[in-house]
Structure formats: structure tokens, C-alpha cells
Amino acid sequence: MKSDYQPDAVDRRILEQLQVDATLSNAELAERVGSSAASCWRRVRNLEEKGVLGPAVRLLNAAAIDRKVNILCNVRVRSHARDVRGAFEDFVRQRREVMECYSMSGEWDYLLRVVAQDVADYEHFLMRVLLEHPSVGNASSHFALSLTKYTTALPV
């Protein structure tokens, strides 16, 4: 779905600031973007109504909650039939260890980003959960050695 929304300079500053710190008060946000508090509040509400701004969340430190291992897992489904793909996508949406799932072009059908406590934790997920799902044909796993860049901030 293409949006016809085109942010102006103030909206862009609002979006940039909220991606850095969603806990800013409306007054703090207005000051940082050079707007009145009332105008800033109306703009934020408009951005929410248009679907530009989603829910405010707090990002967790994965290592602090013992989710130190990041795995990129390529998945091939047994069939490209709509019901098979739908069953796989429903399954993935319900798995908390799957942080992201992309439908892919090319050799593999899906790319998952999975977090785990350790290799044994991931092995259990892979062997006893993922590969046991009736829609999954096979999978290939790639373990991240270190994190070079991670951001949730989109360029605006």
C-alpha cells in the first residue's frame, strides 16, 4: 500500500526525535523540533492516525535477558501453495524466538532472524520445532559472530 503522505520539515524532525527517544514529553519534543506544544501534539496525533507512527515500545538489551545468539535461518517450504505458505507464516508469527521473517526471492523461500540463549537452545528450536512443522522442507542456519550495526531508526 503506497502512502500519499509527504512529511514536511517539522514532521521529519518529529520522526527523527521519536526514533531516538519515544519517552520525550510533548513539551520536550516541541522544543527540540522548533514547534509549539499544541502544534507538536496535533502533528504527532496526525502521524499516528496516518499509520506513520506505530506503538511506542522500549527496546531490550538481548544479552541482559540471556538471548545472546542471533541466527539467520533460510527456510524452504515443501510447497508454494497458498495454504502451505499461510500455515508457515501463521506458525512463525506465533514463535517468540523468531524476531523477523521475510518472504524471499531466489533459492530460499524465507529468511528468519532467530534469537536463542545458546547453540543448544537454537538446536532444540531447529530440530524439534521448525523442521518438524509440516510446511518446512529444509533450513540452513548462519550464526552471527558479532554485531556491527543494529538500528531501528529509519531514514526520514
Within the chain, all domains assigned CATH 3.30.70.920 are found at 62-143
pLDDT in tens, 15-65: 999 999 999 999 999 999 999 999 999 999 999 999 999 999 999 999 999
Within the chain, all domains assigned CATH 1.10.10.10 are found at 9-49
Element (H, E) at 114: strand 110-116
Q: What is the DSSP letter of 62?
A: G
pLDDT in tens, 111-126: 999 999 999 999 999 9
Domain 62-143, CATH among 3.90.1150.10, 3.40.190.10, 3.50.50.60, 3.30.70.920:
3.30.70.920
Question: Measured between alpha carbons, how far is 96 from 24 in angstroms, rounded to an integer?
Answer: 29
pTM of the entire structure? 0.89
CATH architecture of 9-49: Orthogonal Bundle (1.10)
Inter-residue contact 133 to 125 (CB < 8 Å): no
pLDDT at 3 over 80: no
